[in-house]
Amino acid sequence: MNPAFELKNVSKKFKRSNGGWSNALSGVSFKIQSGEFLAIIGPSGAGKTTLMRLLNLTLRPSEGEILLEGQNPLNLNASSLRKLRTKTGSIYQQFDIVPSIRVIHNILSGKLPSWSFLKSFLSLIYPIDITSVARVAEKVGILECLWEKTSKLSGGEQQRVAIARTLIQNPSHILADEPVASVDPSRADSILILLKKLSEENKTTLVVNIHDIALALKFFPRIIGIRNGKIEFDLNSKEITKEILQKLYEGDKEFQYESLNKLKNI
């Protein structure tokens, strides 16, 4: 069986405003197996979000090769590429939902890539496939909120809307870019517990870019550390030491080294 994702010596460059180039990622190579749970950590500006955008095929690598379930998206026509993209659902830090519309419409927006324009338009007038929406809403604990305006929900509830929108796509893989950064810290555990539970039930690959080291170590058996666009380590969470983390975050002003003393089992 092909890996869910495979990166082969991938680099990504962005053009600067002054005409030069900056290297967001350089020579990155690793595999992620289907059904695996993985966290990506590293200092601000390390290239974590760029990596996530490469994995969900919204960016193309400047060099190297990315394979999704053994397929190179660069070799596919437009129709096949759209189909391949639907295998991966993405969850973002800022939820990427529309606050002014009802919860049910935000969840249904996850179906738009696979629907025709007419079906998408009609769903805005009257929601289609309410049964499927109710099913995923119940799974994430917001069934009673379906007909409410999304802006009335708490941050944690809005993140659950974003998760439901991803689930309704029935993806094989879920990529979550800082999924708990915009929710109350007291609710971060519950969001990650939910993501892992749903992924286990559906045998879905789960890749999370996360700033909180303690949460990464608590919930994910495999962790990749990125610094300056390169992989510093790819380890089982039990193998990670304070020294490894200090090296990864060296010089990062936002990282509080004393927080390492609060981490358990390290």
Per-residue pLDDT, 29: 97
* Dist CA 252 CA 246 (whole Å): 10
Give the CA distances from residue 165 to residues 42, 97, 150, in Å, rounded to whole numbers and listed in that order.
28, 9, 13
Task: Provide the pairing of β-strand 230-236 with 222-227.
Answer: antiparallel
Per-residue pLDDT, 182: 77
Contact 55, 224 (CB under 8 A): no
Note the pLDDT tens digit of each residue in 114-173: 666 666 666 766 777 888 899 999 999 999 999 999 999 988 889 899 999 999 999 999
Beta strands (DSSP E) in 93-195 are: 173-177
Q: What is the pTM of this model?
A: 0.88
Domain ranges, ordered by start, for the chain: 1-87+173-266, 94-170
Is 13 a residue whose pLDDT tops 90?
yes
Note the pLDDT tens digit of each residue in 161-220: 999 999 999 999 999 999 888 778 778 899 999 999 999 999 999 999 998 899 999 999
Give the CA distances from residue 19 to residues 14, 16, 107, 181, in Å, rounded to whole numbers and listed in that order.
10, 5, 41, 33
Domain 1-87+173-266: CATH architecture, name and number where available? 3-Layer(aba) Sandwich (3.40)
Name the residue type at position 147.
Answer: W
Residue 154, φ and ψ in degrees, nearest 5: -70, 170
